């Protein structure tokens, strides 16, 4: 359980604390105004309406079908300023209206966290230009490159325990 009624120096410190705690517990979180939600929560109305509006512009037969990992998880941590009248006071506190339980098929685990991070691109952002160029130079030789060599070249870019499989990369030569 996350410590309720805790006071933080500012909203950024609060968000960083919740993100690191969530990663240790095996789930990803997302910001939504002054709240932090489980990334598997129901889609917020504004986001859903924007998606529906975009989809309406594309003919039915050409719409891309995509699966969602959202299951309507109720986990939500609400925060508010400690002193709303004082503009200089940036401290925030967790409100008692927060919901700390996961349900509806949301079971925090290392596997779920890995899927959420892969989906958000957290792992592929780590691949910087130098590493990509070294891999491409290796592939330019047109010699047969075994999977083990590519895996070893990519391993330093990712945290320990992340499997480097075909879901992670799609390299066409």
pLDDT tens-digit readout, 89-110: 889 998 888 888 888 888 888 7
Instruction: Looking at the structure, tell me whether residues 114 and 130 fall in a common domain.
Output: no
Report pTM. 0.61
From residue 83, give the alpha-carbon distance in Å to each of 35, 40, 56, 141, 145. Answer: 17, 32, 44, 64, 61
Instruction: Looking at the structure, tell me whether residues 17 and 79 fall in a common domain.
Output: yes
Task: Tell me which of 51-55, 94-98, 136-140 is least confident.
Answer: 136-140
Contact in structure between 92 and 10 (CB atoms under 8 Å): yes
Mention every residue, 6+ apart, whose C-beta is less than 8 A from residue 75.
27, 29, 37, 38, 41, 99, 100, 101, 102, 106
**What percentage of residues in the chain have a pLDDT greater than 90?**
2
Contact in structure between 91 and 10 (CB atoms under 8 Å): yes
Q: Is residue 1 part of a domain?
A: no
Question: Given 101, 120, 139, which residue is the final one in a domain?
Answer: 120
* CA separation for the pair 131, 154 (Å, rounded): 8
Instruction: Looking at the structure, tell me whether residues 116 and 129 fall in a common domain.
Output: no
Name which of 125, 112, 113 is nearest 157 in CA terms: 125
Distance of CA 120 to the CA centre of its chain: 5
> How wide is the angle at C-alpha 148 spanned by C-alphas 143 and 149, nearest 5°?
50
50: containing domain: 7-120
Q: Is residue 133 part of a domain?
A: yes
- Domains identified in the chain, total number: 2
Q: Say if strands 7-8 and 35-38 run parallel, antiparallel, or are unpaired.
A: unpaired
Instruction: Looking at the structure, tell me whether residues 49 and 27 fall in a common domain.
Output: yes
* CA separation for the pair 67, 167 (Å, rounded): 15
Q: Is residue 38 part of a domain?
A: yes
């Amino acid at each position: 359980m996350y410590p309720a009624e805790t006071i933080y120096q500012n909203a950024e410190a609060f968000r960083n604390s919740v993100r690191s705690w969530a990663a240790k517990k095996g789930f990803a979180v997302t910001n939504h105004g002054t709240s932090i939600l489980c990334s598997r929560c129901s889609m917020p109305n504004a986001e859903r309406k924007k998606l529906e509006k975009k989809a309406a512009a594309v003919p039915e037969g050409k719409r891309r079908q995509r699966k969602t990992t959202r299951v309507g998880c109720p986990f939500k941590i609400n925060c508010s300023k400690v002193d709303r009248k004082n503009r200089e006071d940036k401290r925030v506190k967790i409100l008692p209206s927060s919901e700390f339980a996961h349900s509806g098929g949301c079971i925090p685990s290392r596997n779920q966290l890995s899927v959420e991070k892969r989906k958000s691109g957290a792992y592929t952002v780590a691949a910087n230009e130098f590493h990509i160029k070294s891999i491409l130079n290796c592939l330019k030789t047109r010699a047969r490159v075994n999977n083990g060599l590519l895996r070893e070249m990519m391993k330093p870019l990712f945290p320990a325990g992340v499997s480097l499989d075909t879901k992670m990369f799609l390299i066409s030569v």
